[in-house]
Homo-oligomer: A and B are copies of this chain.
Amino acid sequence: MAPVTAAGEEMYALVERLYPLCRSITGDGVRATLEIVGEYVPLRVHEVPTGTQVLDWTVPQEWNIRDAYVADASGRRVVDFAASSLHVLGYSVPVAATLPLAELREHLYTLPEHPSWVPYRTSYYKPEWGFCLAQETLDALPEGEYEVRVDSTLADGHLTYAEHVVPGQVPDEVLVSAHVCHPSLANDNLAGIAVAVFLARALAEQQPYYTYRFLFAPGTIGAITWLARNAERVGRVRHGLVLACAGDPGRLTYKRSRRGDAEIDQVLRHVLTDSERPHEIREFTPYGYDERQFCSPGFDLGVGSLSRTPYAGYPEYHTSADDLDLVSPEAMADTLAVCREAFAVLDRNRRYVNLSPYGEPQLGRRGLYDSLGGRSDAKEAQLAMLWVLSLSDGEHSLLDVAERSGLPFDAVAAAADALHGAGLVKA
């Protein structure tokens, strides 16, 4: 794993700030989150009204919550939203009632196999109310009457998402997406948001080739809303990466796009293999995060997903144990480093055409080749030029050349630059 970096510490500090907020697929928690993110990178925030048709879906009512609790006969709050945003079932309808424990149980969610953890549960599209709590809390509740109160509103409003764009030399876009709908869960997905933010800042310093679009949106409905409202822009998305669960101590996991052989898939495999980090490459599945939407067969974008331990792969997943202890500056710094390495390759990965394809061009005449012949230790730079010339038939990218030749991508890209400078290849 990469050493602790200033960026690692800054990402962790951002996660700490975002952690207490109660996010959901709509509402003020999302807005507060985006406001903080906007302190790091300029955001364009979009508000889409309830009822808007987005592909096969409809933007739901906006949910906001002020307070929620279960109190015992003595008035003591035995489950309290103020202690953790996880305690309330996401999108709970308002309720104010007193009822016996037996009836209350139908609205309580626990994790019997982890009795001290609070689960994360939602009911976005079916009107319900409920509380999530530790099994051991539930076990300690005596029979009797309990007061329950959810002080929430479900009303016409808006769905909120935001975009940040790092302009490039061409309008072709790379889409980087992180979901912002999960409440107090650190790895899923505050770590993903933090890595996206610092990746954007790093790219902005580089005058990249591609235009990089960062999307901070609620999962599923947010991605669907963005796709519905950007029918034209979608055609410009050449590559993409969904960032999720980016800060836990597990090894890196890259999940391929649905295409399986998109350029982003090749780049991530190359960079992860080349870096000698422990990692796993997974085939696409139509389950997980917003790659589900970007890779749906009608769009079928070249969008992969980078995580550390992936979706549902660690016990703390979607529980109160996905907290600030689970994520670390080191892990986030490592995820960020891989993203930067990958985009450094992707951004320079071009297909060239050899303009002197009949025989080798005389490189020596152009100062690109040693004048002393007979030596058996050809230099990497010269080999790289010969490889670029050999494979620059419009079919092979520079990364293909690097992988076929076994030469470092940087050497191949430098050779392509030299040949381009000599007028021997064109992009």
**Residue pair B390, A360 in contact (C-beta under 8 Å):** no
Tell me which of B122, B295, B361 contacts A56 (CB under 8 A): B361
Contacts of A292 in B (CB 8 A): 360, 386
**Residue pair B374, A121 in contact (C-beta under 8 Å):** yes
Q: Give the interface segment out of A166-174, A192-200, A219-227, A342-350.
A: A219-227
**Residue pair A286, B125 in contact (C-beta under 8 Å):** no
Q: How far is the CA of A354 from the CA of B298 in the complex (A)?
A: 9
Instruction: Report if A312 contacts B (CB, 8 A).
Output: yes
Contacts of A421 in B (CB 8 A): none
**Residue pair A220, B360 in contact (C-beta under 8 Å):** yes
Instruction: Report if A299 contacts B (CB, 8 A).
Output: yes
| 0/1 string, A282-316, CB within 8 A of B gives 1 | 00011100001101111100000000000110000
**Residue pair B287, A378 in contact (C-beta under 8 Å):** yes
Q: How far is the CA of A371 from the CA of B364 in the complex (A)?
A: 70
| Contacts A292-B360, A386-B286 given; does A297 touch B391 at CB 8 Å | yes
Instruction: Report if A392 contacts B (CB, 8 A).
Output: yes
Instruction: Report if A383 contacts B (CB, 8 A).
Output: yes
**Residue pair B374, A56 in contact (C-beta under 8 Å):** no
Contacts of A224 in B (CB 8 A): 359-360
Contacts of A312 in B (CB 8 A): 376-377
**Residue pair A359, B223 in contact (C-beta under 8 Å):** yes
Instruction: Report if A405 contacts B (CB, 8 A).
Output: yes
Q: How far is the CA of A297 from the CA of B425 in the complex (A)?
A: 12
Q: How far is the CA of A115 from the CA of B377 in the complex (A)?
A: 18
Instruction: Report if A128 contacts B (CB, 8 A).
Output: yes
Instruction: Report if A129 contacts B (CB, 8 A).
Output: no
Q: How far is the CA of A125 from the CA of B371 in the complex (A)?
A: 6
CB distance from A398 to the nearest CB of B (A): 15
| Contacts A121-B373, A124-B373, A128-B371 given; does A360 touch B293 at CB 8 Å | yes
Instruction: Report if A427 contacts B (CB, 8 A).
Output: no
| Contacts A357-B297, A364-B125, A393-B297 given; does A386 touch B227 at CB 8 Å | no
CB distance from A141 to the nearest CB of B (A): 22
| Contacts A90-B373, A126-B371, A386-B286 given; does A362 touch B296 at CB 8 Å | no
CB distance from A286 to the nearest CB of B (A): 4
**Residue pair B318, A374 in contact (C-beta under 8 Å):** yes
Contacts of A296 in B (CB 8 A): 357-360, 389-390
**Residue pair A358, B287 in contact (C-beta under 8 Å):** no
Instruction: Report if A275 contacts B (CB, 8 A).
Output: no
Closest to A314 in B: B376
Contacts of A146 in B (CB 8 A): none
CB distance from A352 to the nearest CB of B (A): 11
Q: How far is the CA of A296 from the CA of B393 in the complex (A)?
A: 10
Contacts of A358 in B (CB 8 A): 55-56, 227, 296, 298-299
Closest to A391 in B: B297
Instruction: Report if A97 contacts B (CB, 8 A).
Output: no
Contacts of A375 in B (CB 8 A): 121, 318
**Residue pair A387, B286 in contact (C-beta under 8 Å):** yes
Q: How far is the CA of A119 from the CA of B297 in the complex (A)?
A: 60
Closest to A295 in B: B390
Besides A56-B362, A227-B359, A228-B359, 9 other A-B contacts (C-beta < 8 A)? A55-B356, A122-B372, A125-B365, A224-B359, A286-B386, A296-B357, A297-B390, A297-B393, A298-B357
Query: What are 25 sample pairs from A and B whose C-beta atoms fall under 8 A apart?
Result: A55-B359, A56-B360, A56-B361, A90-B373, A120-B374, A121-B374, A121-B375, A124-B373, A125-B365, A220-B360, A227-B358, A228-B359, A258-B390, A285-B405, A286-B360, A286-B386, A286-B389, A296-B357, A296-B358, A296-B390, A297-B392, A298-B357, A298-B358, A299-B359, A318-B376
